[in-house]
């Protein structure tokens, strides 16, 4: 972690990363955080920095700490300080009315929701054939992954990523990733003692020539990437570029781990790396970004020769998908309800993206109709810390570009990611975006805060 020119204290950077993990449910309620000394060693900071980060998270009501037991994510987070607060950090599906669907599904299918869900059907045995078949159909339809063997089930995208790195890497190995990437990769790399190297991005995503240079210099064991609706920049890698990346993987003997949590928003599917380089790629997705944050179900597609080890590591790194959610998701697939949910969320995200462009388009906002977040680069004269502080004064929380940087936050262009699904409706989103525009206009004319 680097403080330097961002003027953002190290403990705030660390607290922000952990807060994002909690907001996205990568760290679930009740999860135990690493001991302060262990996290300090993994991240290359002092124990005092971790202590202050944990204190900040406790102040925000996100964690609770007890002497002798450690620090845990709160099971019931404290309410927001301000009733008008709008958290646009974590990407979440815009549709909010699924609780009644869940209760209806359970009531209408009592034979499916029996005691076996709490005993051994999913927790201590291999994946149930019916769920496995449903998962395979889903991946083929919404992610263009139509390849054997059938996918394995896991609890989340973070779980899938952890399992992939545990399987493919050993301490000291190099992992390449987009220079701006999902925050979980930096935390996992630190915990597993892996070196992470950032690959340059452009408007079409990861640049193959930059990856080739990294291969010669660092010999990565794994490339972790998000080719579709990249977070935070929204880019989608064109098909020709995907083939170039696959060719580099074969030439330099590294694995490609593809995160496709936003893939179901896309109507025009491009071939995943499981189709282009099936012998050296892992693909995973989950339902937290397209159905509900609490839908703790994910799918991993792997080559046959990795299947047994991946399956074992899924259990080692935590149980498989929550049985009740796994059954619910499978039921909704079979009934067509999940298709309806996806269509509804696609439609709403497209409408919200249009709203965002109408308000912030002239300010350089990057937003696409099939992407649940938008990316707002800031003018060179605008201080990123000052801008985000001013926005927070209006009750709006955003993700900063330095929080996504895998290597050098001080070299990252100032920008913010805006979750379009974070607001409960378009009216509230419009109000939040209008406030952001106002702050941006003021920031361009005022002397930076000190």
pLDDT at 154 over 70: yes
Residue 21's pLDDT is what?
84
Residue 125 has pLDDT above 50, yes or no: no
179-200: b (≥16 Cβ within 10 Å) or e: bbbbbbbbbbbbbbebbbbbbe
What is the average pLDDT across 243-270?
A: 97
How many alpha carbons fall within 13 Å on the CB side of residue 176? 28
450 pLDDT more than 50: no
Higher pLDDT, 274 or 15: 274
Q: Does residue 13 surpass a pLDDT of 90?
A: no
The pLDDT of 375-384, averaged and rounded, is 91
Q: With bands split at pLDDT 50, 70 and 90, how would you rate the model's confidence at 1?
A: low
Question: Residue 303 in 3-state DSSP?
Answer: coil
| CA distance linking residue 156 with residue 295, whole number of Å | 9
**What is the sign of the dihedral through the CA atoms of 8, 10, 15 and 21?**
positive
Region 423-434 average pLDDT: 94
pLDDT digits (tens, 9 = 90+) for 33-49: 999 999 988 888 898 88
Taking the C-alpha atoms of residue 385 and residue 362, their distance in angstroms, rounded to an integer, is: 22
Mean pLDDT across the chain: 87
Euclidean distance between CA atoms 353 and 365, whole angstroms:
10
As a whole number, mean pLDDT of residues 156-166 equals 95
Average pLDDT estimate for 49-69: 81
Distance from C-alpha of 20 to C-alpha of 402, rounded to nearest angstrom: 13
| pLDDT tens column, 206-240 | 999 999 999 999 999 999 999 999 999 999 999 99
Q: Using a pLDDT cut of 70, give the percent of the chain over it.
A: 87
Prediction pTM value: 0.79
pLDDT of 123 strictly over 60: no
Q: How does residue 396 score in pLDDT terms, banded at 50, 70 and 90?
A: very high
Cα angle 202-207-208, degrees, rounded to a multiple of 5 = 165
Q: What is the mean pLDDT of residues 338-364?
A: 95
pLDDT value, residue 415:
96
pLDDT at 79: 43
Q: What is the pLDDT of residue 118?
A: 59
Whole-number percent of the chain with pLDDT over 90: 57
- pLDDT tens digits, one per residue of 68-87: 788 999 875 444 434 457 99
| Residue 104 to residue 14: CA distance in whole angstroms | 41
Task: Report pLDDT digits (tens) over 171-195.
Answer: 999 999 999 999 899 999 999 999 9
* 294-341: pLDDT as tens digits: 888 899 999 999 999 999 998 888 766 777 788 888 889 998 999 999
In the chain the domains, ranked by start, together with CATH numbers, are 1-79 (1.10.10.10), 112-335 (3.40.640.10)
pLDDT of residue 107 exceeding 90: no
Does pLDDT of 356 surpass 80?
yes
* Model pLDDT, residue 172: 97
Q: Report the pLDDT averaged over residues 48-59.
A: 84
- 103-112, 144-153, 417-426: lowest mean pLDDT where? 103-112
């Amino acid at each position: 972690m680097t403080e330097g020119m961002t003027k953002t204290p190290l403990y705030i950077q660390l607290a922000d990363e952990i807060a994002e993990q909690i907001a996205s449910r990568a760290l679930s309620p009740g999860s135990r955080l690493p001991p302060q000394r262990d996290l300090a060693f993994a991240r290359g900071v002092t124990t005092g920095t971790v202590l202050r980060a944990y204190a900040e998270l406790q102040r925000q009501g996100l964690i609770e700490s007890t002497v002798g037991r450690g620090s845990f994510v709160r099971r019931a987070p404290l309410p927001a300080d301000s009733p008008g607060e709008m958290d646009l950090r974590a990407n979440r599906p815009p549709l909010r009315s699924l609780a009644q669907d869940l209760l209806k599904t359970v009531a209408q299918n009592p034979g499916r929701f029996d005691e076996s869900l709490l005993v051994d059907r999913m927790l201590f045995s291999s994946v149930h054939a019916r769920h496995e078949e449903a998962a395979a159909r889903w991946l083929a339809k919404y992610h263009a992954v139509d390849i054997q063997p059938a996918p394995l089930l896991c609890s989340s995208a973070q779980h899938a990523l952890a399992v992939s790195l545990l399987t493919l890497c050993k301490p000291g190995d190099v992992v390449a990733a987009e220079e701006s990437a999902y925050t979980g990769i930096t935390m996992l790399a630190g915990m597993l003692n892996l070196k992470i190297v950032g690959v340059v991005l452009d408007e079409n995503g990861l640049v193959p020539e930059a990856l080739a240079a990294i291969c010669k210099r660092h010999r990565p064991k794994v490339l972790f990437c998000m080719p579709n609706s990249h977070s935070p920049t929204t880019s989608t890698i064109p098909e020709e570029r995907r083939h170039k990346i696959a060719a580099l993987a074969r030439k330099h003997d590294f694995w490609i781990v593809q995160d496709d949590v936003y893939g179901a928003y896309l109507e025009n599917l491009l071939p995943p790396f499981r189709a282009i380089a099936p012998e050296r790629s892992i693909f995973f997705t989950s339902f937290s970004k397209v159905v509900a944050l609490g839908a703790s179900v994910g799918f991993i597609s792997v080559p046959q020769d990795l299947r047994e080890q991946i399956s074992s590591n899924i259990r080692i790194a935590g149980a498989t998908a929550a049985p009740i959610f796994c059954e619910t998701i499978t039921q909704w697939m079979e009934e067509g309800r999940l298709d309806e949910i996806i269509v509804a969320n696609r439609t709403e995200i497209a409408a919200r993206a249009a709203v965002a462009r109408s308000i912030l388009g002239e300010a350089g906002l990057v937003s696409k109709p099939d992407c649940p977040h938008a990316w707002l680069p800031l003018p060179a004269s605008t201080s990123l810390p000052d801008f985000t502080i001013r926005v927070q004064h209006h009750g709006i929380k955003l993700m900063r570009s330095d929080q996504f940087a895998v290597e050098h936050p001080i070299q990252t262009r100032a920008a913010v990611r805006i979750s379009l699904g974070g607001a409960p409706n378009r009216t509230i989103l419009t109000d939040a975006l209008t406030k952001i525009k106002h702050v941006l206009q003021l920031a361009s004319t005022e002397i930076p805060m000190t």
